């Protein structure tokens, strides 16, 4: 992140890298599968003017440790809970992109007392459809084939091309994000964590985990949904379906973006998120109301 210094915490014996900047209401930014906190770098600089912004590398990703452990949504959500506690952040607006959206929703469900608002960006967990390539990687034995196409030779050649285009002033944020994900998977530990994470949420027929049966719980929680209209990893139709299932949610479609609107249109993304923060009140958990919603007796 260039001008942002990484910080490190050891939680449950595993080192976690994260970036923190700014002061004010807290924003927790959660990246997607095979990604890292760097996906938020442009947005983070803009938002740090008004907010405390914290962006971790999830376990198994980026520069955080990659142990042989549980990479389920629930485990990631528990890890974020612990990170907030360890960094003295009592409550936060949780912003999750792709896999990070699924983790954000799981955090809201498991630990609603810590979440003030929810922002879903090209989120997983809202429908079956997902890119064919991700489904292929769930095949038994795919982890043994991956090294043949994800290796240092291809990585180094691609980096040469990437550097040439960068010097020439060519900017393609979506391609850059996908390339960074590919590069990360050239490491053996990264691939193992990736496969375990992927298989916890996707199978050969598509996404295997859905939040739709619990979206009604969001009625107490200000929610923003952001999606790129040209998303070719998770279709934009999921955004419209989620918006319909979450009364009171706000929907923003970025016509010029694909799967990474926070990187492709960072100024617009930051402006939309700032407006959402300014025009909504942080949720306050009412245990009695939460119980009524779970039992279906809420009015």
Please report the pLDDT score of residue 180 as a whole number. Answer: 86
Q: Given pLDDT bands bounded at 50, 70 and 90, which one contains residue 286?
A: confident
| Residue 220 bears catalytic tag | no
- Summarised one tens digit per residue, pLDDT across range 67-107 is 999 999 999 999 999 999 999 999 999 999 999 999 999 99
In the predicted structure, residue 37 carries a pLDDT above the cut 80? yes
**Per-residue pLDDT tens over the stretch 274-284:** 999 999 999 98
Q: Is 238 a catalytic residue?
A: no
Domain boundaries, the chain: 7-129+207-295
The CATH architecture assigned to 7-129+207-295 reads: 3-Layer(aba) Sandwich (3.40)
Question: Which DSSP helix (H) or strand (E) runs through 116?
Answer: strand 115-121
What's the start-to-end Cα distance of the chain, in Å? 47
Instruction: Give backbone dihedrals phi and psi of 260, rounded to 5 degrees, phi first.
Output: -130, 60
Give the model confidence (pLDDT) of 180-216 as tens digits: 888 888 888 999 999 999 999 999 999 999 999 999 8
Residues 147-164 pLDDT 10s: 777 756 555 545 555 554
User: What band does 143 get if pLDDT is binned at 50, 70 and 90?
Assistant: confident
Tell me how far apart the alpha carbons of residues 31 and 61 are, in angstroms, rounded to a whole number: 9
pLDDT at 174: 85
- The single residue of 98, 123, 200, 257 carrying the catalytic annotation is 98
- State residue 142's pLDDT score: 86
Question: What pLDDT sits at residue 2?
Answer: 47
Identify the active-site residue in 31, 122, 259, 263. 259
Nearest to 35 by CA among 263, 271, 274, 267: 263
Express as a percent the part of the chain with pLDDT over 90.
74
- 131-153: average pLDDT: 83
Residue from 65, 122, 231, 257 carrying the catalytic annotation: 231
Q: What is the pLDDT of residue 1?
A: 45
User: Model's pTM, two decimal places?
Assistant: 0.92
Q: Which of 269, 275, 231 is nearest to 41 (CA)?
A: 269
Mean pLDDT of 260-276: 97
- Please indicate whether residue 259 is annotated as part of the active site: yes
Asked if residues 29 and 40 have their Cβ atoms less than 8 Å apart, the reply is yes
**Could you tell me the pLDDT band of residue 36, with boundaries at 50, 70 and 90?**
very high
**Sign (positive/negative) of CA torsion 266, 268, 271, 272?**
negative
Q: Please give the residue that has the higher pLDDT: either 175 or 229.
A: 229
How many CB atoms lie under 10 A from the CB of residue 128?
12
Query: Cα separations (Å) of 146 from 87, 136, 167, 200, 276?
Result: 37, 11, 30, 18, 41
Higher pLDDT, 188 or 63: 63
Vertex 205, ends 201 and 211: CA angle to 5°? Answer: 40
């Amino acid at each position: 992140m260039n001008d942002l210094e990484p910080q490190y915490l050891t939680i449950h014996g595993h080192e976690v890298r994260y970036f923190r900047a700014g002061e004010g209401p807290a924003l927790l930014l959660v990246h997607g599968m095979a990604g890292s906190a760097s996906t938020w770098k442009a947005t983070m600089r803009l938002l740090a003017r008004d907010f405390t912004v914290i962006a971790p590398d999830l376990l198994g990703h980026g520069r955080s440790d990659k142990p042989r452990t549980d990479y389920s949504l629930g485990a990631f959500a528990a890890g974020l809970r612990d990170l907030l506690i360890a960094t003295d952040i009592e409550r936060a607006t949780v912003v999750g992109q792709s896999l990070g959206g699924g983790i954000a929703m799981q955090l809201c469900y498991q630990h609603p007392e810590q979440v003030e608002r929810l922002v879903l960006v090209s989120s997983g967990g809202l429908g079956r459809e997902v890119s064919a390539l991700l489904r292929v990687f769930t095949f038994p034995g795919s982890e043994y084939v991956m090294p043949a196409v994800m290796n240092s030779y291809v990585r180094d050649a691609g980096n040469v091309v990437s550097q040439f285009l960068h010097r020439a002033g060519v900017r393609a944020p979506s391609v850059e994000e996908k390339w960074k994900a590919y590069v990360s998977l050239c490491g053996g530990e990264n691939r193992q964590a990736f496969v375990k994470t992927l298989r916890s949420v996707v199978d050969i027929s598509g996404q295997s985990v859905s939040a739709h049966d619990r979206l009604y719980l969001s009625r107490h929680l200000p929610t923003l949904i952001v999606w790129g209209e040209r998303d070719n990893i998770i279709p934009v139709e999921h955004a419209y379906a989620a918006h319909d299932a979450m009364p009171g949610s706000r929907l923003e479609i970025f016509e010029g973006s694909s799967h990474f609107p926070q990187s492709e249109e960072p100024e617009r993304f930051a402006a939309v998120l700032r407006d959402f923060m300014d025009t909504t009140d942080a949720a306050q958990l009412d245990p009695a109301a939460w119980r009524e919603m779970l039992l279906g007796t809420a009015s």
